Every structure is written in C-alpha cells, then in structure tokens.
Structure 1
Amino acid sequence: MSPAVQIALAVTLVVVLLLLLVLRRDRPRDLVVPDRPAGDGQVEVLRLARAGRTVEAVRVLRRQTGLPLLDAKRAVDALVAGGSWSPGGPVPGRGVDDAVRAEAARLLHRGRKIQAIKVVREHTHMSLADAKRYVEGL
C-alpha cells in the first residue's frame, strides 16, 4: 500500500473519530434511560426515586399523569419521604379555609371573578388555572 493511501486512511479515521466525539458530546453521560413504567405507576416512580434517579422518576410520573413539572417533583418528594400520592393529582380547593372561601364566594357573586381568583391565589399558593377552576366551582 502506498504512503499516500495510508495517509488518506489515517486522516479519514481521525475525521470519523472526531465526528463521533462531537455527536456524543451533546448526550448526557450520567443519566440512564428510564425503564418502561410497570403496572402500578406509583411503585415504578418510587423505585426510581429511591434509587437516586429523581429526574427519571419525575419524568415517568409526568408522562403517566400529565402533571406540571413542579407538581410532579413535589409528588416524587412526598413518595420518597414516606408519604403517599394520589394519581388524581392535587385537588383544587383542598386546604382553603372558610374565610377565604367565603370572601371568594362574596366577590364572585358580586361579579368580581378576577378579584376572587386573586384572593384564592394569595392565600393558597394555587396555580392560576387551579384557582380559576376553584372559583368557578363555588
């Protein structure tokens, strides 16, 4: 084999290796592809979280339930801490005290729906959508 062909093969090999390195650089190295969810989603999420794979547990939970990121993270944290989580997600209105409920109802019946939603959000930390559903349900 002539020296020119050997040089051409060596250059080609170097270029291919560099391309492979560049393509792999964008992939996360420390994450493992999550397993497919098993029959009981809560058990799968708990298994991942207890194995230290919190990001994957949140991802699986979001895929199974459609929860927003923050709610899924809170649910995973509750499971790891020994609590439980209901697949229905957070129930809008749970934890609203009677004074807030009465004030929101009063504002709603006076036609001040936006102010009622603001009152509920200020006192409960609900999302805008949850507070709106809660007020509309009064």
Structure 2
Amino acid sequence: MTYALSWPLQEAVFARLSADPTLSGLVGGRIYDAAPHAVQASDPLEDYVTLGEEVARAFDTATDHGASFDFAVAVHSGRQGYARAKAIAGAICDALIDAPLSLSRGKLIGLRFLQAQAQRGRPPVRRRIVLRFRAVIEDS
C-alpha cells in the first residue's frame, strides 16, 4: 500500500468533474479543493462543489500492491430547498460512478458510491450534501 496514489486520484476526480457538461451547466467552474472566501461572500446563491476528506487503506494482494480510498465530494448551495443541490449531487454521481478515470500513477480497479448525507445550514450555505465514494487503485 502507498499513499502516493492519493494525489493522482484527486487530480483525476477533479478533471472528470470539471469536464462533465451536466455538472458544468449546474455549477460552472466552481469546483474547488477548498472554497475560496470570495465565493461564499459574493453571492449566497452561488452553488459550488468541494473535494473533501479521504481515508486510505491498504488493498494488497499476493502479487500486487494498491490502496482503497474512501473520499468525499460536497455540494454547497445557498438556495432554500434541496432541488438544485440534489441535481448537482446526481450529476456528480453520474460523472464518477464506474468512471474510467485516467491516473498519472496506478490503475483504477473500481469506483463506487458509498453514501450521501444532506444537511441544512445557515447562510451563505443553506444546503450541503456530502457524497462518499470508494476508489480501489492498483499501483503501477
């Protein structure tokens, strides 16, 4: 197992989400590693996506080394209801589940959805949905 596969995974997830036309139609280019302060202050109705925390575990076999990564992608919305946030969350799932991600190191064995949690909040983020995925990567 190596944590060196983490950054290639994050790069590939970011690239996949950024290139998805449905998601781009919903959030434009507002996909971040961490949301800039300006996004939250500029317009409370701006919807955006952040890449979140992860947990890595060894996923070695007798002949290969790899890791599994449970990682989060969060939807942030300043809107009153869940409709827009859920549409964005659905687009993220459609873009990532079983996606053939191209990694700069390693080979993606599988990518699946684990869970989602929808939460209410205070402005500027009235709605937040945290999606959790699992990626299994074999080191190259």
If you compute each CA radius of gyration, which structure gives the higher value, 1 or 2?
A: 1
Regarding TM over 0.5, the answer is no
Q: Identify the structure with the greater helix proportion.
A: 1
Q: TM-score range by the shorter chain?
A: under 0.3
Q: Identify the structure with the greater strand proportion.
A: 2
Q: TM-score, normalised by structure 2?
A: 0.23
Q: TM-score, normalised by structure 1?
A: 0.23
